[in-house]
Amino acid sequence: MKRISYLGPEGTFSHEALLKYCGNSKEIISIPMPTIVDVIKSIDKGEADEGVAPIENSIEGSVNITQDVLTFESEAKIIRELTLPIKHNLIAKKGVKIKNIKKIISHPHATAQCRMFLSANLPDAEIIAANSTAEAIKKLTNLEPDAAAIGTKTAAQLYDLEIIADDIEDSKVNKTRFIFLGSYIPSKSGLDKTSIVCFLKKDKPGSLFNILKEFADRNINLTKIESRPARKEIGDYVFMIDMEGHIHDRIIYDAIESLRRNVYMIKILGSYPVWDEKS
């Protein structure tokens, strides 16, 4: 049996990502965790064989806590990725009408992503923050009927609640990229991505250029580059880079080895199959 941890409780988007990957497989033991940090650390501690965590949203951008823990606090490796369309639903107890709702409970990101719907339909409703959309729906079961929550269809089904408005998100192309974490580098699939972090020796003119030049000279396509604070002085940063190709491809391996001469350290976050949007 494979143990896979995810950001809980049941009914979160992380849980939906896990279900999309494994379906109702009897070979999977799913383990809900209270925080993203706990999900990632569960790999280091051997509490789970794999973990699922969000790393990037098409509206909100990168999930900084996921990036930072992988960079500074964990040896877990990205072993696959999965992109999930984010569909928000207004959920309430059965029989409740939208005109009677006075309170909305959800994660702040969810309420922000449904701003136009809430402004048009529930402009006077009190907004109450929760740690996750699933937690919001779980709490809803103990609230008065004038409360509603924003969350997933999975959570509504789990707690026997009713969806009174579906697909209420402002952007219909809202997606979140999830990563599955493990303790190994998967074999080449033929269509792969490699993620690394570059730690600079010191900040000086041309530092970023020297990094990018190693990839440009080899015609390696970078799909993402982002800076994060290096947890030192203000102005010190690390660079997080995603590139097309596998670490065991000669051209990728050579680029990274050449790059080591110009930086203090390179950390390999993973080398894994690219997500097929048709899946």
Catalytic positions, please? 176, 178
User: Other CB atoms closer than 10 Å to residue 212's CB: what's the count?
Assistant: 16
190: alpha, beta or left, given left = phi > 0 and alpha = psi -120 to 50?
A: left
Cα distance between residue 2 and residue 206, in whole Å? 46
Collect all residues with Cβ–Cβ distance below 8 Å to 128 and sequence separation of at least 6.
103, 104, 105, 106, 136
Q: For residue 26, give Cα distances in angstroms to 8, 16, 21, 64, 157.
A: 20, 16, 13, 33, 20
Collect all residues with Cβ–Cβ distance below 8 Å to 94 and sequence separation of at least 6.
160, 161, 162
